[in-house]
């Protein structure tokens, strides 16, 4: 189970994607309606160009007093997106999230968006294994 492919977590997944020119209001409403914590921002050909998360909404929109009807995703999305390949294991994706201190990781293959995993998609044993590895690393350092 610990080495299961990350793609096991995304079966039957319908991705929430928007173009960079979509407004924050539209993105927020779609996130609410779909009960998800992020929007994958893609260009017209479907290549990933950014991600907009709940944290972006709070830190880059609300805290800065931006107008949700006038601000586009392009202005506030995270553009340097860490991704994993479909061959990555669930544990590798979880480790990437922990190391980067974020909760969503898109799965990309050859520039094509395949899916997304969230921190909450993982089982207890994966979290426990990562915690164990982290403790070992801290002991060695």
98 token code pair: 């922990």
pLDDT in tens, 74-98: 999 999 999 999 999 888 888 898 8
| Inter-CA distances, 135 with 11, 48, 88, Å | 32, 34, 22
What average pLDDT does the structure give for the chain? 85
Rounded mean pLDDT of 35-43? 94
CB neighbours of 116 closer than 8 A, spacing ≥ 6?
10, 13, 15, 38, 40, 104, 105, 106, 107
At 22 the pLDDT is 98
CB within 8 Å of 25: residues ≥ 6 apart: 68, 69
Query: Which residues are CB-contacts of 17 (< 8 A; sequence separation ≥ 6)?
Result: 39, 40, 41, 42, 46, 113
For residue 7, CA distances in Å to 13, 16, 76, 90, 114 come to 10, 17, 28, 8, 9
pLDDT in tens, 92-132: 888 898 889 998 999 998 888 989 988 887 665 554 555 54
Residue predicted with more confidence, 43 or 132: 43
- Domain range summary for the chain, segments of one domain joined by +: 6-140
Residue range 6-140 forms a domain whose CATH class is alpha beta
Higher pLDDT, 132 or 10: 10
Query: pLDDT grade, residue 6 (50/70/90)?
Result: confident
Q: Kindly indicate the confidence band of residue 44, based on its pLDDT and cuts at 50, 70 and 90.
A: confident
Q: What is the mean pLDDT of residues 48-68?
A: 96
């Amino acid at each position: 189970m610990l080495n299961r492919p990350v793609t096991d977590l995304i079966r039957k997944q319908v991705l929430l994607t928007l173009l960079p020119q979509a407004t924050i209001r539209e993105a927020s409403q779609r996130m609410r309606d779909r009960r998800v914590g992020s929007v994958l921002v893609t260009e017209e050909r479907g290549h990933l160009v950014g991600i907009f998360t709940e944290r972006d909404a709070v830190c880059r929109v609300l805290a800065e007093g931006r107008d949700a009807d006038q601000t586009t995703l392009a202005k506030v999305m995270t553009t340097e997106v860490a991704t994993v390949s479909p061959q990555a294991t669930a544990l590798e994706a979880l480790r990437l999230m922990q190391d980067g201190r974020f909760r969503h990781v898109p799965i990309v293959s050859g520039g094509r968006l395949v899916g997304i995993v969230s921190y909450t998609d993982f089982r207890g044993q994966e979290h426990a294994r990562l915690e164990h590895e982290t403790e070992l690393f801290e002991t060695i350092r």
